């Protein structure tokens, strides 16, 4: 299992405020807002008492979800009603299957200079045209009303 190896992927998912991964005989791994550490550890203990594979707790405006995959247990806290809540179970299940590549910082998007412009008058480039001053302007091929 590899939830421990993938804790950074879990903690950096959209909407996740904090994540905790526990496994028997190993130190608990925690990522996120420090104020959630003890709450998530207590939630894992409650989940073990119920003997259910997945439990959810609501506390104020946050949802705490605890899920066991094999011998590892993951606990996350996210805002109640956040769109990511629908996919957290599947995400944890997938992260438990295999180790993911380390997280890399996203490079800022830049204009690709390899794209050759076309001479077709009906062609609209995916990139906006630039005027000599360097400002970006959009020149649509067929302007349409916005309504």
pLDDT, tens digit (0-9, with 9 covering 90-100), for 32-91: 999 999 999 999 999 999 989 999 999 889 999 999 988 889 999 999 988 887 788 788
Confidence of residue 114 (pLDDT cuts 50, 70, 90): very low
Count of CB atoms within 10 A of residue 93's CB? Answer: 13
Contact 40, 30 (CB under 8 A): yes
In angstroms, the CA 55 to CA 48 distance is: 10
Average pLDDT of the chain to the nearest whole number: 76
pLDDT of residue 119: 53
Residue-range domains of the chain with CATH:
7-97 (3.30.450.30)
- pTM higher than the cut 0.75: no
Average pLDDT score over residue span 105-125: 49
Based on the number of CB atoms within 10 Å of its own CB, is 36 exposed (0-12), middle (13-18) or buried (19 or more)? Answer: buried
pLDDT of residue 146: 59
The closest alpha carbon to 37, from 75, 89, 80, 65, belongs to 75
């Amino acid at each position: 299992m590899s939830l421990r190896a993938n804790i950074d992927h879990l903690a950096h998912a959209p909407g996740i405020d904090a994540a905790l991964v526990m496994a028997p005989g190993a130190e608990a791994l925690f990522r996120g807002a420090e104020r959630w550490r003890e709450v998530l550890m207590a939630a894992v203990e409650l989940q073990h008492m119920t003997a259910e594979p997945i439990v959810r707790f609501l506390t104020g405006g946050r949802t705490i979800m605890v899920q066991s995959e094999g011998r590892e247990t993951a606990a996350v806290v996210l805002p109640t009603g956040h769109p990511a809540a629908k996919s957290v179970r599947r995400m944890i299940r997938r992260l438990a299957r295999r180790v993911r590549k380390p997280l890399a910082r996203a490079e800022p998007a830049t204009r690709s200079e390899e794209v050759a412009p076309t001479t077709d008058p009906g062609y609209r480039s995916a990139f906006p045209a630039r005027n000599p001053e360097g400002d970006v302007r959009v020149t649509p091929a067929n302007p349409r009303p916005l309504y």
